Amino acid sequence: MATIRNAEISDIGAVIAIWASCDLIKPQNDPVTDFHLALETANSTILVLENQYSVIGSVVVGFDGHRGWFYYLGVLPELQSVGHGRALVEAAEDWLLSHGAPKAMLMVRHSNTKVIGFYEKLGYNIEETSVLGKRL
C-alpha cells in the first residue's frame, strides 16, 4: 500500500530522480532550487507518495492567495497507470482546499497530449487563457 506525506529535505534525491525519469526537468528550471523553494515557502509544499520501499511519486503544490497550483506531478514510469497519479492529484486538491484555494490550476505543454488526457479524465478542462512569463 502507498501512502502520501509531506516531503522532507532528505527526500530531495528521490524526488528529483522521479522528476528526471518523468522528463519534468527543463534546462531553465533548476530542480534543486525548485525543491528547496517549495519546502521553504510558507504557501507551498511537496507531497510524496511512497510504498513500503521508497518514494515513488511526488507533486509540488502551492496557493498564491487567488488560485491553487501544482507542478512536477510525477510517478516512476514503471509504476504509472495504476492510480498513483490520481492519488497525488487528489492529495494536492485536498491540500489546496485546506489552504482556502477556490480553484486548482496547472500548466501542461500543448504537445503533451498523454498528460492532457490524464487531467481531462480527472475533471480538468483546458482554459481559454494564455500563460505569459518572464525570467527574473
Domain ranges of the chain: 3-107
| CATH T-level fold of 3-107 | Aminopeptidase (3.40.630)
Angle between the N-to-C axes of helices 12-21 and 31-40, in degrees from 0 to 180, rounded to the nearest 10:
130
Which DSSP letter does residue 95 get?
H
- Interval 65-82 mean pLDDT: 96
Give the pLDDT confidence score for residue 124 in this predicted structure: 96
How does residue 135 score in pLDDT terms, banded at 50, 70 and 90? confident
| Stated pTM of the model | 0.93
Which DSSP letter does residue 26 get?
-
Share of the chain above pLDDT 90, in %: 85
Residue 112 clears pLDDT 90, i.e. is over it: no
Residue pair 16/31 in contact by the 8 Å Cβ criterion: yes
Tens digit of each residue's pLDDT (9 = 90 or more) over 4-18: 999 999 999 999 999
